[in-house]
Amino acid sequence: MSTSINTDTISRDRALPLPAQKSGLWRDLKEAIAGSEQDFTQGGIGRAIFLLSVPMVLEMMMESVFAVVDIFFVSRLGSDAVAAVGLTESMLTIVYAIGVGLAMATTAMVARRIGEKKRQEASVAALQAILVSLLISAPIAISGIFFSENLLVMMGAAPDVIAKGLDYTTLMIGANVVIMLLFVNNAVFRGAGAAAISMRALWIANGLNLILDPCLIMGLGFFPELGIKGAAIATIVGRCVGVFYQFAMLANTKSRINFRHGYLQLNFGVMKKLVQLSLGGIAQFIIATSSWIGLMRIMATFGSESLAGYTIAIRVVIFSIMPAWGMSNAAATLVGQNLGAAKADRAEKSVWKTAWVNVAFLSSIGIFFYLFDETLIRIFSQDPEVVKIGAQALRYFSYGYPFYGFGMVLVQAFNGAGDTATPTKINFICFWVTEIPLAYMLATQADLFFFSGLGLREPGVFTSVIISESLIGLFGVILFKRGKWKKKEV
């Protein structure tokens, strides 16, 4: 890289400091949604958190709405269609795991280069991440295009489910590349501090999907009635348009991250580093997901009403914590950029400030859950037993919300620093070593190793969740204070 490029890059970045003075809330809100190129290694930390968090929170909320509405339209096609979607989503978990892991690595590397005022190297890292995602998605696409029926059989799908859902599975797995690219491209923008672009990309993708879903599933207006196949096409088209928008932004030479002609080359060193960093993120996702499946399996032994109540409660919880994930992602970006700028103290202050805001937010949600537990569950079910179990779950989960606030931010802070190994170890201990065995021991009468089961049934599972999630927050605080993450090379 030439000296002239470095000088130009540094001068341009320094010309865009984040103002330290307080601006009006409405002005900051408009700026956060509209997006602007800011230097988050300077100026007020609180305002930096706000400008990064708002678009990330809105992005996560749109993802939540999409998940609910999408299954609403598919459910109109019957249980076989819903089963096909469920089985396909289960198989796509590996795609999500790889996408999330690669996104974590991408955010960490891009943010670090931006903090170092090395725009060209940040752009190179972004391109390598995209190339890695293309290479990984290719064999997965081949398996989906040619072996979807075999995969459904392997998953235990009934013949009617295969007959109705084969096209859906083929299309979704065959087009997995758009899922990968959405994850990775948005990670590039987050790392660069352009969270508003990530927000718009997902709103475009999911918004178009929500419009096309009923049109293609039910054949509204001049659209053909394609059933479950229409759901797949709507999803793929929406995501493709979102990806096209992302690439249009990456092609803009005026943006902080862009693809100039000289960057379009393979860099195996950067690719190797990205893959190494992503392994921790992939492991984190797989550990957390498999733990959730394990708890579902234990709850299933208590009957369909218990399982339904727990499922509804979990959906409510996931929807409620999406804004908290947005704030956690903001912390990851701030850590990466400030470490790159050799401002470890500012990175640490950003994390603690974000964590306390997150704790305040989630604590208020916990109080709301405690006061209106049954009311929230009745929105989804009127079955007395389902409402009872679901409300009980929300009450128990609410006790641990302050700890969740710390855990979420600190885990993402490690990831933002490029230390994906520490959160993986925390997840392993808290989910696999603690949560699953503890849930089994507390909930059932069966013995586990040297311990006798207590037979608390559903409350035993809920208690294990509180303890394991609280341990994540506790371990996160202890390990974060040690400061080893500050020395992580990315």
- Which structure tokens are listed for 30? 């408009």
**Residue 104: partners with Cβ closer than 8 Å, 6 or more residues away:** 187, 277, 278, 280, 281, 284, 332, 415, 420
Top mean pLDDT of 33-47, 160-174, 311-325 is at 160-174
348-364 pLDDT, tens digit each: 999 999 999 999 999 99
Q: Domain ends where: 220, 244, 266?
A: 266
| Residue type at 19 in one-letter notation | P
**Looking up tokens 């709405």, which residue turns up?**
65
- Residue 116 CA to residue 194 CA, distance in Å, equals 16
Rounded alpha-carbon distances, angstroms, from residue 449 to 5, 434, 440: 63, 13, 11
**Looking up tokens 């796509």, which residue turns up?**
92
Q: 29 lies in a domain?
A: no
- Which structure tokens are listed for 189? 């923008």
Q: Do both 201 and 148 map to the same domain? A: yes
Q: Do both 50 and 138 map to the same domain? A: yes
Q: Do both 262 and 289 map to the same domain? A: no
Q: Do both 250 and 295 map to the same domain? A: no
Q: Band of the pLDDT at 449, cuts 50, 70, 90?
A: low
Q: Do both 217 and 325 map to the same domain? A: no
Average pLDDT over all residues of the chain? 85
Q: 214 lies in a domain?
A: yes
Q: Domain ends where: 215, 231, 266?
A: 266
Q: Do both 244 and 388 map to the same domain? A: no
Reference 472, options 401, 416, 418; nearest CA is: 401
Q: Domain ends where: 266, 296, 320?
A: 266
Q: Band of the pLDDT at 34, cuts 50, 70, 90?
A: low
* b (16+ CB within 10 A) / e for 59-80: bbbbebebeeebeebbeebeeb
Q: Quick one: pLDDT at residue 186?
A: 93
Contact 434, 471 (CB under 8 A): yes
**Looking up tokens 């620093």, which residue turns up?**
417
E strand intervals along 8-144: none
Contact 292, 298 (CB under 8 A): no
The residue that leads in pLDDT, 490 or 368, is 368
Contact 416, 351 (CB under 8 A): no
Q: 475 lies in a domain?
A: yes
Q: Do both 229 and 337 map to the same domain? A: no
Q: Please state which of the ranges 24-28, 216-220, 459-463 shows the lowest mean pLDDT.
A: 24-28
Q: How many residues does the chain have?
A: 490
- Residue 387 CA to residue 380 CA, distance in Å, equals 9
Domain that holds residue 366: 280-490
**Residue 145: partners with Cβ closer than 8 Å, 6 or more residues away:** 170, 173, 174
Q: 421 lies in a domain?
A: yes
**Looking up tokens 């710390």, which residue turns up?**
406
Q: 362 lies in a domain?
A: yes
The three-point CA angle 350-190-320 to 5° equals: 75
Q: Quick one: pLDDT at residue 257?
A: 82
Q: Do both 285 and 363 map to the same domain? A: yes
Q: 271 lies in a domain?
A: no
Q: Do both 63 and 150 map to the same domain? A: yes
- Residue 378 CA to residue 189 CA, distance in Å, equals 39
53-68 pLDDT, tens digit each: 888 888 777 776 766 6
Q: What is the mean pLDDT of residues 214-225?
A: 92
Greatest alpha-carbon span in the chain: 71
Q: 26 lies in a domain?
A: no
Rounded alpha-carbon distances, angstroms, from residue 288 to 43, 212, 431, 474: 36, 32, 7, 17
Q: Do both 416 and 468 map to the same domain? A: yes
- Residue 117 CA to residue 441 CA, distance in Å, equals 52
Q: How many domains does the chain have?
A: 2
Strand partners, 451: 448
For residue 20, pLDDT beyond 50: no
Q: 274 lies in a domain?
A: no
Q: Do both 257 and 299 map to the same domain? A: no
Q: Do both 319 and 245 map to the same domain? A: no
Contact 50, 32 (CB under 8 A): yes
- Residue 469 CA to residue 270 CA, distance in Å, equals 34
- The number of CA neighbours under 13 Å toward the Cβ of 46 is 7
